[in-house]
Structure 1
Amino acid sequence: MDYSHVRDVDPEVADALEGEVGRQQDTLAMIASENHVSEAVLEAQSSVLTNKYAEGYPGERYYGGCEFADDVEQLAIDRAKELWGAEHVNVQPHSGSQANMGVYLAVLEPGDKILSLDLTHGGHLSHGHPANFAGQVYDVEQYEVDPDTGRLDYDAVAEQAEAYDPDLIVSGYSAYTRDVDWERMGEISDAVDAYHLADIAHITGLVAAGVHSSPVEHADFVTGSTHKTIRAGRGGIIMCREEYADEVDKAVIPGMQGGPLLHNVAGKAVGFQEALQPEFEAYAEQTVANAEALGESLKEQGLSLISGGTDNHLVLVDLRESHPDTTGKDVEEALEEVGIVLNANTVPGETRSAFNPSGIRAGTPSLTTRGFDEEACREVGELIYRVVDNVDDGDVKSEVSSRVDELCDAHPLYEELPSR
């Protein structure tokens, strides 16, 4: 990757950029929300569209000179509609959290009630955590997964909804490993006359490929990230029924942001085009198969998985039973030393701090993009366990690090890499 122009102007930033390319090449990215986009998406995101203001929407801009900006944004919209079968799409949100904000602004008033999954049980900050804008502006109550199964108890959610009478119910999660019954969540919302927002930030690509069920026909609004399993330009997206189109578009601009990041929209358009190709379905299927293989490998080593396994791209490990004196942060730091990058994560019934929780979360999107198959992911599970079981053993970590180097070299990221 050529950063020669940056180097001419700012060698320090060039060093950091080249260092990051090398870091990504030399480590296994297993943070479930991360992926590696194509060189085509990288080119689109670094395009001259970063120079252009285009406040408004295609054909209705506040500035002139937007003919090519209109083309790019309309392509992203049309491709998103084809991928997810949505009636209306807004591709301008800068992130998945801002996509959620757009929906809240469109249909809620300050103080309205939101029912969503607790963060420690797999929810997301933007679903109503008190540290987030959603928890500060709205009245939020949260449901939990069943502590014994690690799965959603839809009957319990229905009872809670009836008692709380929310204005909006959020489904879709950041650390839930099972397929979601969107239809049931829609029925629960309808029964209490609440809007239903399905946040598919993590599984946008899996839903687009048909390897995870879709909420589009069961939710009033669907939000997501465009850079996780879908591998498009970094940002957010809102999909909704046509009846809410005007409210959503006004909530995005002028409600919560001004000019769209058109270079990111270009990256979304290119990534969506890639996702419309037949090989993307194979990638999504492999991502799920790899997560299942990873989970089975970890279980075989004696680690406990929340819900007992996975239906999607991630596994959530509870360390409390097998390694009660080891925290998720201990494991995260030890694994990063050997070149495996994942994150410490809370688990249902968490008794430790969210900054030093009892679990770890691992995903397979990035590994799958690099060409890993089930056998390779099983081996990665074995390597993870060796470190979990020996977080302070330098010899073990050295051995694991050497094998990680071999796996990285066997599955290079990009054709042109800076010398290491």
Structure 2
Amino acid sequence: MRVLLLTYGSRGDVEPMVGLAVSLRELGAEVRVCAPPDFAELLDGSGLPLVPLGRSVREMASGAVTGKEPLPAAGLPQRAAQMVAATYGSVAAVAEGCDAVVATGLIPAAAAARSVAEKLGIPYVFVAYFPTYLPSPHHPPLAWTRPLPPEVTDNRVLWDLNTEDMNALFGEAINGHRASIGLPPVDNVRDHVFTDQPWLAADPALGPWLQPADLDVVQTGAWIRPDGRPLPADLEAFLDTGAPPVYVGFGSMPMRAAQDVARAAIEAVRAHGRRALVSRGWAGLALTDDRDDCFAVGEVNQQALFGRVAAVVHHGGAGTTTTAARAGAPQVVVPQIADQPYWAARVAELGIGAAHDGPTPTTESLSAALRTALAPETGARARAVAGTVRTDGATVAARLLLETVSRERPPVSA
């Protein structure tokens, strides 16, 4: 059996797919992964060849933050048309012989993946990594290109407006491409991409799907990539020479005034008498002086690291939130975009950390949040919740996918 996995997004979009790929391979499936070229090394570390899609996500994200390459809403339909066509071309070239397609990430890329599946007559699955990405009466949609109208409080009405927005932004691009390859048009772009039974790869304790709901969502648990890499020797030495430090990192988030953020974080950590461990990430955070109570790292095994820190200050990506929760590490979430405010709120609601108010921390605001995260009762709660976090989500999803393919395959005639 051969499965094609596709995502176009940041590391937080790609790493769960790697987790699913590893589980599928363990069950005997052959896997092909289509993702941005930034993540060739990540896939290579798991023995998975990368089928590169599009431009570097890091370059585009950095350009948007610095203003060198702004992404105005007015240009989105044209960009969507280019992405649909380019993604379809890349995916169709390697999908021959595949038995299923699993997709996530940007709507135009996922739409192209579904078109490939339709042309091949094979199952297509869309996966979300957080509940609020999917339509529900329990929460509003994300405000992607314009603020939600403050006078509208009915979530169902807001999701109807979201349908209109998605059709306006992507409908012409997606339907124009579908016509070019002999497929019929779709009336509702979002529902076409999501399907009526999307999967939710989020931990049920951390990010539950609430009932009643309009969609038949399949929640598998988070897809965690197994990571057996040892920590670097110099990091081990830093960890061993004092009390557990506070980790500060913002993953794949480029940030304006990154050094101001680093300075505020280090000062806040020091105000609590703690050492700081700063992850450079895509923001390029750096140390502010040469004192020995701070240490900077690049990309490391967070699964091995987070159980050895006093707290984790981060942006609130689904993967980082889950990894910290699984390790029992108290968290301070400083949300920047997309799903991150959701995860910040969940961390606070669960009592396993603090949600920072807004994306730009100061020494005072981070110090206040750390006061909550470093409190003994928060640590105790974080350790208790850690015991409820599932680690088998990728295996559950892999088995379900193989069962789905087997069920939908036509019987072999004698």
Q: TM-score, normalised by structure 1?
A: 0.29
